[in-house]
Structure 1
Amino acid sequence: MTVKRVAIHTLGCKVNQNEAEAMAGLFREAGYQVVDFDGEADVYVIHTCTVTHLGDRKSRQVIRRAVRQNPEAVVVVSGCYAQVAPGEVMEIPGVDLVIGTQHRARIVELAEQVMRERQPLNAVQDILRVQEFEELPVAETGRVRAFMKIQEGCQNFCTYCIIPFARGPVRSRRPEKVLEEAQRLVNNGYKEIVLTGICTGAYGRDLGEGIDLNRLLLRLKEIPGLLRIRISSLDPNDFTPDLIDTLTGDPVFCPHLHISLQSGNDKVLKDMRRQYTTAYFARLLQALRSRRPRIAVTTDIMVGFPGETEAEHESSLAFVEKMELAGLHVFKYSQRKGTKAYHFPGQVPYQVKEKRSHDFLALDKKLRDAYARSFLGETLAVLVETGVDGGCWEGHTGNYLKVRFPAAADLRGQMVQVRLEEAVEDFIMGSLV
């Protein structure tokens, strides 16, 4: 019997990547061979992104590429672009199945239904009415760090953001399900778990019963053998005094937080409907650093929001530099239909957005270099993830510095002490202690 082949291409964020890995796992369980996307397959899955116009365009390009590679294959389109524009996706010749951001757990069943019936199927549902968290198994692609999704959806409705329309309202995974899977992952050899979600800090708000992110973390840290817990991203407003105490009070929680700022200018933040000020963000960093000095804090920055003046850009740049962050993720504003900012006056020309992006990218390099170099000469714990060329091993410190060091023994999955010696490109070279 011929083994069916599936190829999966993912665009966009870490959550998308984790979901795609989970879907690949479902196909493997059903007997499929997962093959490279550039080769021939019986099923192609394109897990799309819609955060920017570029995400939409890239999604369409990849869909057409799949159709060209094997016109007889079943082409499945999932993810955020498929969710917000299912009709547009269905009109692309060769698309057989559109499932959006739900029904991913049923992807094999739906793909095989289309394979049998040879009738295109639009299975996208109204995501704003969905109330339940969709269970997807964690894809066990390694034995060191696992990404575990605990939350779906967002109800912040920032003026620039399409994600609430693509992902729907906040839905949280039941804490007992989270704890069961975390225990299983540790039993299978994982040492670190990264908690992910669309709005991770909103965990539990839909469940009631006194369930929230802080209480979940307190239960997770009691799992024997779980050496590290990392959180993928939080908003400034997610931090309560209890959460700050928890995240800074136990070494199992990595001294690394990604806190999404978006702009260092108060007028722009207000226009974005971000519901905090730069002064609040500065106080939050002070509170975190007073409890856990040298904690790595990274952030998202958007440039070219409608109406952003050159003076506001410069003040944003100055504020972010003053915060002495460990790194930035820089995005250019993209006009998205359905969002309030789509109709805002003062749309910033692309060339201006490009220039402002370069300003922040230069600052990002400066900040990353300064933070990494501040640890040279020190010895830190590194969780070893993989072997690299030259007889070296590579892993990350708790504060997410990528470290390489030479060693003859197989150290994968072990926590070792490494002296940090030289900053090289995007990693630090060190030696085993």
Structure 2
Amino acid sequence: MKKAALHNLGCKVNSYETEAMQQLLENAGYEIVPFAEGADVYIINTCSVTNIADRKSRQMLHRAKKMNPGAVVVAAGCYVQAAGEELKKDEAVDLVIGNNKKTELVSVLEEYFASRKGPEAEIACGYPVLPPKAGLDAVIDIGDTREYENLSINRIADHTRAFIKVQDGCNQFCSYCIIPYTRGRVRSRKPDEVVEEVKRLTASGYQEIVFTGIHLSSYGMDFPEKERLTLLDLVKRVHEVEGLKRIRLGSLEPRIVTEKFAAELARLSKICPHFHLSLQSGCDDTLKRMNRHYTTEEYFNCCDVLRSAFHNPAITTDVIVGFPGERPEEFKTTREYLEKVQFYEMHVFKYSKRNGTKAAVMPDQIPESTKTDRSNELLCLEKEMSLAYRESWLGCRTEVLLEEEFWWNGTRYMIGHTREYVKAAVPYEEGLRGMVIEGKLMEMMNEEVAFLKR
């Protein structure tokens, strides 16, 4: 039995695909082992969202080859699409598998191992190996395909919440983003396949599912006109699955939030009022340079719509600081806008130049020290707003999906999340993991965790 180790880099979509590849390997008889010395096969699901992600991907590939020079090192995913020819010349990499080809992992490995038995094989480090790159790589022009890759899972590492990939690709072409070039155009998963996977996971005990995708808001737009569906249609289908208690949505584009969209979601009892609306900047001039297709006024109206449809919903976002040309007054405008919206959580990123994007060659690139100062300022603001939102729930009755143990001041608790993704803890009892319990949020135990009285 061959031993395989997997390592994931990047987003939730990558995490889902890594889980799916692991299950493909298990079904083929591979033993899954930790990412350490001793594996026969190392699969690194790479990321290419920034130049730093590229570097981390290369580092992990070289680390794998050093752990076992005779092992097969497989580079998979986005970095393969961005730098496939470069990877094919890298002596640390034996196979490259691009996006939309991960379902072929087992067959590509089998063909590779079969070819190693031929008379042309050499011996190195105790393993027969082929000369570099035997023509077995699986990479396509991702921009030309309109086919959704049908990966699926039966279980995930987290036994309370399951991320489910329902969409791939992006048509937006934001000026800072390489993803449309590494993931291709919008492709959606068939709703029947999504529903069947949700049923399997629910039957296995999962209480909550999270829809995820590269550009989730575009779900269904690629279907033929007579079969056209929206994300809302898919949510309604999944909402009917018996035994499922929660549906959470991944990152959304603000333009999907209309009064109808919010009102329809509010009628669905399993929907979690936790909405991640990607912003990137609170300054209209910066948004234009980013090629984002909304204004700050439109975005604010979306937040108002959600707050009218749901009681105190959690609204979270992403913000990029130091985008090319971001003058001090533009950053000030962004900060004031963030305070106006009052987010629950913000993911703050320093702009990272990504070769191959329009932003990489824009004038007025911002010094790294300035990016760091602006990032630190927004992180402090995020901390204040996040605590204020958590405290707004104190004294309210809510429900918590308990997920794991938590120790505080020498006492054992179980900790989980409310529907709004606020962390809450209860005194430890056997058998609470995976349970949904109700109670009142009484006080903050620390800045992140509230105490729930049952």
TM exceeding 0.5: yes
Structure 1 counterpart of 2:173, from 147, 153, 157: 157
Counterpart position of 2:371: 353
Counterpart position of 1:180: 196
TM-aligned CA deviation for residue 304 of structure 1: 1.0
TM-aligned CA deviation for residue 259 of structure 1: 0.5
Counterpart position of 2:395: 377
Stretch of structure 1 that moved more, 81-90 or 191-200: 81-90
Output the CA distance in 2 between the equivalents of 1:88 and 1:125. 15
Counterpart position of 2:427: 406
Output the CA distance in 2 between the equivalents of 1:383 and 1:190. 11
Secondary structure of 2:18's partner?
Answer: helix
Structure 2 counterpart of 1:111, from 101, 109, 112: 109
Q: Does 1:221 align with 2:239?
A: yes
TM-aligned CA deviation for residue 424 of structure 1: 4.0
CA contact (8 A) 1:261 1:300 kept: yes
TM-aligned CA deviation for residue 245 of structure 1: 1.5
For normalisation by structure 2, the TM-score amounts to: 0.92
Q: What letter matches 1:399 in structure 2?
A: E
Counterpart position of 1:24: 22
Distance 1:391 1:220, change over 3 A: same
Q: Does 1:241 align with 2:259?
A: yes
Counterpart position of 1:100: 98
Output the CA distance in 2 between the equivalents of 1:402 and 1:320. 23
Q: What letter matches 2:137 in structure 1?
A: N
Secondary structure of 1:328's partner?
Answer: strand
Stretch of structure 1 that moved more, 43-52 or 375-384: 375-384
CA contact (8 A) 1:49 1:55 kept: yes
Stretches of structure 2 that go unaligned for 5 or more consecutive residues are 117-129
Output the CA distance in 1 between the equivalents of 2:258 and 2:342. 22
Output the CA distance in 2 between the equivalents of 1:82 and 1:180. 31
CA contact (8 A) 1:404 1:427 kept: no
Stretches of structure 1 that go unaligned for 5 or more consecutive residues are none
CA contact (8 A) 1:18 1:139 kept: no
Secondary structure of 1:40's partner?
Answer: coil
CA contact (8 A) 1:214 1:242 kept: no
TM-aligned CA deviation for residue 376 of structure 1: 2.1
Stretch of structure 1 that moved more, 164-173 or 19-28: 19-28
Output the CA distance in 1 between the equivalents of 2:447 and 2:20. 28
Counterpart position of 2:123: none
The two structures, once aligned, show a CA RMSD in angstroms of 1.5
Distance 1:139 1:351, change over 3 A: farther
Structure 2 counterpart of 1:200, from 212, 216, 226: 216
Secondary structure of 1:279's partner?
Answer: helix
TM-aligned CA deviation for residue 432 of structure 1: 4.4
**Structure showing greater Rg:** 2
Structure 1 counterpart of 2:137, from 113, 119, 122: 122
Output the CA distance in 1 between the equivalents of 2:320 and 2:334. 10
Counterpart position of 2:417: 396
CA contact (8 A) 1:421 1:428 kept: no
Secondary structure of 1:219's partner?
Answer: helix
Output the CA distance in 2 between the equivalents of 1:425 and 1:332. 28
Structure 1 counterpart of 2:404, from 376, 386, 396: 386
Q: Does 1:282 align with 2:300?
A: yes
1:41-100 deviation per Cα after TM superposition (whole angstroms, max 9, x unaligned): 111011111111110111111111001000000000112111111112222212111112
Structure 1 counterpart of 2:205, from 166, 172, 189: 189
Aligned pairs (5 A) from 1:249-398: 249-389=267-407, 390-398=411-419
Output the CA distance in 1 between the equivalents of 2:192 and 2:400. 30
Distance 1:200 1:426, change over 3 A: farther
Counterpart position of 2:152: 137
Q: What letter matches 2:440 in structure 1?
A: R
CA contact (8 A) 1:402 1:427 kept: yes
For normalisation by structure 1, the TM-score amounts to: 0.96
1:381-409 deviation per Cα after TM superposition (whole angstroms, max 9, x unaligned): 01122234444212111000122211323
Secondary structure of 2:74's partner?
Answer: strand
CA contact (8 A) 1:384 1:396 kept: yes
Structure 2 counterpart of 1:57, from 52, 55, 76: 55
Distance 1:424 1:55, change over 3 A: farther
**Structure 1 consecutive aligned stretches of length 4 or more whose deviation exceeds 4 Å:** none
Output the CA distance in 2 between the equivalents of 1:215 and 1:203. 10
Aligned pairs (5 A) from 1:60-79: 60-79=58-77
Aligned residues: 431
Secondary structure of 2:143's partner?
Answer: helix
Q: Does 1:171 align with 2:184?
A: no
1:313-365 deviation per Cα after TM superposition (whole angstroms, max 9, x unaligned): 11101101110110101111122222111221111111111111111111111
